[in-house]
Amino acid sequence: MITKDMTRDLIGRQAVDSHGEKVGKIGQVYLDEQNGTPTWATVNTGLFGTKESFVPLQNADLKDSAVELPVEKQQVKDCPHVGRSDERLTGSEEDELYRHYGTAAGATGVTGGAGDGRHAATDTAEAGRERSGGTSGDDAMVRHEERLRVGTEAEETGRVALRKYVVTEDQTVTVPVSHEEVRLEREPITDDGTAGSARPGVIGEEEQEITLHRERPVVDKTTEAVEKVRLGTRTVTEEEQVSGTVRKEQIDVDDPSDSLER
């Protein structure tokens, strides 16, 4: 249970929903104007925490340095945009939050009528001085402006895959081949027998045979590694313009009697 003694401890802590899922960090705590009990809080949600949403502290608890909320994260994301003033949550705004979260308006002893409301507790010492009018004697009015906070996040844009498949093609290679041919060689025999030899005075039949050879192409195939292929990425930086609507406060001087020195 959240008590008014815990108000300071809530600011800046991580808030989780009823399932333990992170919702955001507590920004401001709104107190019951009658008894000072913490009733509502804002959490920073959205991309980079740029959106503030109200969450109920009724039935919430502080455990393990996190604020456990009695609502779900999606309810917080869909919360209506109320509390345009940093100082006070009106009764009608509170009724709208009660309807959104399905919480009884009178659960904390306040009916949430037009005369009721919640005021924001001090989240830091400096903010406390700004809202209270200045404990150090500074009664200046503080003007605020919203600023765009822009960042980037990675998202998947596509996938590329390598796929290996087999194709068939014809190749023609020229190979030199050789073969033997028969030729007739004649060698005369001289009288002295130096140029050759023969059996003199023998006449008869004789047969001589020679074997011829030739080369023929032989085709064989081997598998060889020829290349490595892999996918890689490179980062290309380009500029994009983003736009958004921001609010800022303006301060006008109401001086009907023209008493302000110009």
Query: Is 115 within the bounds of a domain?
Result: yes
In the chain, the amino acid numbered 240 is E
pLDDT tens for residues 220-237?
999 999 999 999 999 999
Pairing of β 61-63 and β 51-56: unpaired
| Per-residue pLDDT tens digits for 109-140 | 333 333 345 566 544 434 433 433 334 445 67
Which two structure tokens, joined as six digits, stand for 57?
């502290």
**How many independent structural domains does the chain possess?**
1
Could you tell me the CATH number of the domain that includes residue 71? Answer: 3.90.50.10
Gyration radius of the chain over CA positions: 48
pLDDT the model gives residue 209: 93
Check pLDDT > 90 for residue 102: no
Contact 97, 79 (CB under 8 A): yes
Could you give phi then psi for residue 94, rounded to 5 degrees?
-65, -40
The bridge status of strand 66-68 relative to strand 61-63 is: antiparallel
Q: Is residue 225 part of a domain?
A: no
Computed over every residue of the chain, the mean pLDDT equals 80
List of residues 6+ apart from 123 with CB closer than 8 A = 11, 12, 27, 28, 29
Name 45's bridge partners.
Answer: 51
Say if 247 falls within a structural domain. no
Of 160 and 253, the one with more pLDDT: 160
Distance CA 25, CA 45 (A): 8
In a domain, 50, yes or no: yes
Residue 182 lies in a domain: no
The predicted structure's pLDDT at residue 173: 93
Structure confidence by residue, pLDDT tens digits, 172-217 = 999 999 999 999 988 887 776 555 555 566 788 989 999 999 999 9
Please indicate, yes or no, if residue 253 is contained in any of the structural domains.
no
* DSSP, residue by residue, 162-189: -----------------B----------
Convert the pLDDT of each residue in 46-57 to its tens digit.
Answer: 665 567 889 999
What gap in Å lies between CA 230 and CA 249, rounded to an integer?
Answer: 57
Query: 40-49, 132-141, 161-170, 234-243: which has the minimum mean pLDDT?
Result: 132-141
Strands 117-120 and 38-45: unpaired
Closest to 71 (Cα-Cα) out of 48, 41, 95, 110: 41
Range of the domain at 62: 4-130
Q: Residues 13, 65: contact at Cβ < 8 Å?
A: yes
**Amino acid identity at 14:** Q
Q: Where are the alpha helices (DSSP H) in 51-199?
A: 73-77, 91-101, 125-132
Above 90 in pLDDT, residue 148?
A: no
Pair of tokens at residue 18: 């009823």
What tokens does 139 get?
């009664």
pLDDT at 252: 85
Does residue 183 fall inside a structural domain? no
**pLDDT band, residue 70 (cuts 50/70/90):** very high
Please indicate, yes or no, if residue 82 is contained in any of the structural domains.
yes
Burial of 184 (0-12, 13-18, 19+ CB in 10 A): exposed
Question: 102 near 133, Cβ under 8 Å?
Answer: no
What is the reported pLDDT for 167?
95
